[in-house]
Amino acid sequence: MPLQTLESDKDNYWWKKAVFYQIYPRSFQDSNFDGVGDLKGIISRLDYLNDGTTNSLGVDAIWFSPFFKSPEFDYGYDIVDYCDIDPRYGTLADFDRLLEEAHRRNIMVVLDLVVNHTSYLHPWFLESRSSRDNAKRDWYVWKDGKGRKRKPPNNWRTHFFGSAWTWDEKTQQYYLHSFLKEQPDLNWYNPEVREAVGDVIHFWLGRGVDGFRLDVAHHYCKDRQFRNNPPFFIRDRGLDKTRLSDRTLMANIMKLLALPTMQYGKYNQHQPETHQVLKEFRHIFDSYQAKTSVGEILGDDAALVASYYGEKNDELHMNFYFELANCRWKAGAFRRCIERWERNLPENAWPAQTFSNHDLVRAISRYDHGGNGDKRARLLMLILLTLRGTPFIYYGEEIAMKEVKLAKNQLKDPVGVKWYPVHRGRDGCRTPMQWDDSNYAGFSNSAPWLPVGSELSRRSVAAQQNDPNSQFSLVRELIRLRKSLPALLEGSYSSVTEGVSADCFCYLRETDQQKIMVCVNFSFRRQNADPGSLNGESRIIFSTEPERELEIINFPLTLEPGEGCIIDLSMAK
């Protein structure tokens, strides 16, 4: 892998050096005590994220899940007005203040662009469904029923439940929705749609936002012939499947059950025409200074996911590879997954890394087998903040917030409501931010929309901010370290396997001047790492073990059970 260097115009590439923090606005801070988080609440907490001193967490950018006008069938991912703020969260004036206050603290602001679909109450769709000859009819995907019984046009299924087609009684046609029936898919072959969404992008970039996360961007264009999807086990040849079996059992089960429901989405996602849409978006981004985008491109095929950077690096600025969040707790599984991602990335493509978000079981709970979640959460943060690419921290991850187990009558997410108890949905990772150990965790003065988690005397900002051994202190220190080490910011990645036990995940991050090794012991046993080529003295500059002396060492390096270290090898010959 060639060395990656940051381009000369540093400001344009702030997103390569930034640590991102994802805020789920409903759950961060409630300022008017209606139990739902809001923009004013977020403003009041910006200093926590970065006040310019080493007291704060020190993140550089926020990705906000949507707070636009929405009936919230899918909690903001179903939008009725892309250019206004939902009154639950505030007003456009509040947003402008949020943006200004964030920028004053050098925090960049990235919004969620949810344009595979709109809400079924969006004026565009209301018009579209009003009659077959409405000017906006073709803005969505309408098809006749099949045969005398007017069956759905094909076998496509939603990501949530059932057929992706819903019959419209009034106009006697089906419309397509890849998610809820309240989220009709836009027709991305219609140039007016592209223009209208382009206007939305201009609206926010012009207002000063720094970029977008693109919701399910691999779904935009559909097969023009609307062919049936094959069964889930049919896959294209040539897929780089190196040990997809490294997935957790749960990830595999989810795959079988729901991806999208027992079929391989060959024709309703990942169509080549979507690349042209992304190129057009990129063109808009590039017409401004220093904007960025990060894709939510779902898929296990690393090459396919990587293709969304564009052959000429003219599509996404950054992209996640979610298989990383699906790995078993095995050093080799993590290593192989990162290698697969690195191997398939085009030259100069800049990865985005994450372990948790508003759709996933919080990583600390996902890996909590045998009560080891806390220890592993420390290792995960070490890995996240030392991998090549931009790290995305999910709110609460920095204070070891756990997934909250909710009873059926507490669920809000339609996925959980429908599938309980087989699947509890996504509410468990969306519970209120835990600021302190008061009644509602400092999130609100009245009952929040979802219950708060437990162990607040341990898992809260107040409990951790002044404890040097807390998860918060660890994350803050790692962020600080990352920014101070060019090798972590811009260095190449390479795995180290020679002399390293299969239970350890070790890798090098290198620039011409600096060589950093990260070593993570995934096991319960003490392990030695003795990469033969690295002789001479080195210095441990960080460990997840509070007791570890930061010392000059000679190899072999001894790692305590479940310990992760950062080692400066620049002094080794």
Tell me the three state secondary structure of residue 98. Answer: helix
Residues belonging to the chain: 573
**Which of 396, 381, 410, 463 has the alpha carbon at shortest distance from 27?**
396
Instruction: Single out the catalytic residue among 38, 78, 215, 563.
Output: 215
Burial class (CB in 10 A: 0-12, 13-18, 19+), 490: buried
> Phi-psi category of 414—alpha, beta or left, where left has phi over 0 and alpha has psi -120 to 50?
alpha
Residue 77 vs 435, nearer CB to ligand NOJ? 77
- Alpha carbon distance 294, 7 (integer Å): 19
Find the binder of ligand NOJ among 139, 179, 212, 443 (CB under 6 A). 179
Site for ligand NOJ in 277-316 (CB under 6 A): 296
User: Residue 114, interface with ligand NOJ (CB under 6 A)?
Assistant: yes
Find the binder of ligand NOJ among 60, 94, 215, 323 (CB under 6 A). 215
For 72-87, give the DSSP string. Answer: -TTTTSS-SEEEEE-T
User: Residue 216, interface with ligand NOJ (CB under 6 A)?
Assistant: yes
Residue 296 vs 368, nearer CB to ligand NOJ? 296
Instruction: Single out the catalytic residue among 60, 296, 300, 413.
Output: 296
Which residue number has the CB closest to ligand NOJ?
A: 77
What residue ranges in 263-389 does DSSP mark as E strands? 292-295, 318-319, 350-354
Find the binder of ligand NOJ among 30, 60, 72, 74 (CB under 6 A). 74
Burial class (CB in 10 A: 0-12, 13-18, 19+), 419: middle
Site for ligand NOJ in 229-248 (CB under 6 A): none
Closest contact distance (angstroms) between CB of 268 and ligand NOJ is: 14
Residue 431 vs 470, nearer CB to ligand NOJ? 431
For 318-333, give the DSSP string. Answer: EE--GGGGGB-S-HHH
Closest contact distance (angstroms) between CB of 81 and ligand NOJ is: 16
Residue 295 vs 486, nearer CB to ligand NOJ? 295
End-to-end CA distance of the chain: 21
**Which of 358, 449, 454, 360 has the alpha carbon at shortest distance from 412?**
449
Find the binder of ligand NOJ among 223, 359, 436, 560 (CB under 6 A). 359
- Alpha carbon distance 168, 126 (integer Å): 12
Its sign, for the CA torsion 448, 449, 451, 455, is negative
Site for ligand NOJ in 1-30 (CB under 6 A): none
Residue 66 vs 564, nearer CB to ligand NOJ? 66
Residue 70 vs 511, nearer CB to ligand NOJ? 70
- Alpha carbon distance 350, 490 (integer Å): 10
> Please, which residues bridge with residue 520 across strands?
505, 564
Site for ligand NOJ in 444-473 (CB under 6 A): none
Closest contact distance (angstroms) between CB of 396 and ligand NOJ is: 17
What number of chain residues touch ligand NOJ (CB under 6 A)? 9
Closest contact distance (angstroms) between CB of 272 and ligand NOJ is: 21
Find the binder of ligand NOJ among 15, 63, 64, 77 (CB under 6 A). 77
Closest contact distance (angstroms) between CB of 167 and ligand NOJ is: 21
**Beta pairing, strands 492-496 & 504-510:** antiparallel
Site for ligand NOJ in 510-539 (CB under 6 A): none
Residue 34 vs 359, nearer CB to ligand NOJ? 359
Residue 26 vs 137, nearer CB to ligand NOJ? 26
Closest contact distance (angstroms) between CB of 490 and ligand NOJ is: 29
Burial class (CB in 10 A: 0-12, 13-18, 19+), 468: exposed
What residue ranges in 86-154 does DSSP mark as E strands? 108-113, 142-143
Closest contact distance (angstroms) between CB of 260 and ligand NOJ is: 12
* Cα 335 to Cα 165, 299, 497, distances in angstroms: 40, 18, 10
Reply yes or no on whether 215 is catalytic.
Answer: yes
> Please, which residues bridge with residue 495 across strands?
507
Closest contact distance (angstroms) between CB of 358 and ligand NOJ is: 6
Residues that bind ligand NOJ (CB under 6 A): 74, 77, 114, 179, 215-216, 296, 358-359
Q: Catalytic site residues?
A: 215, 296
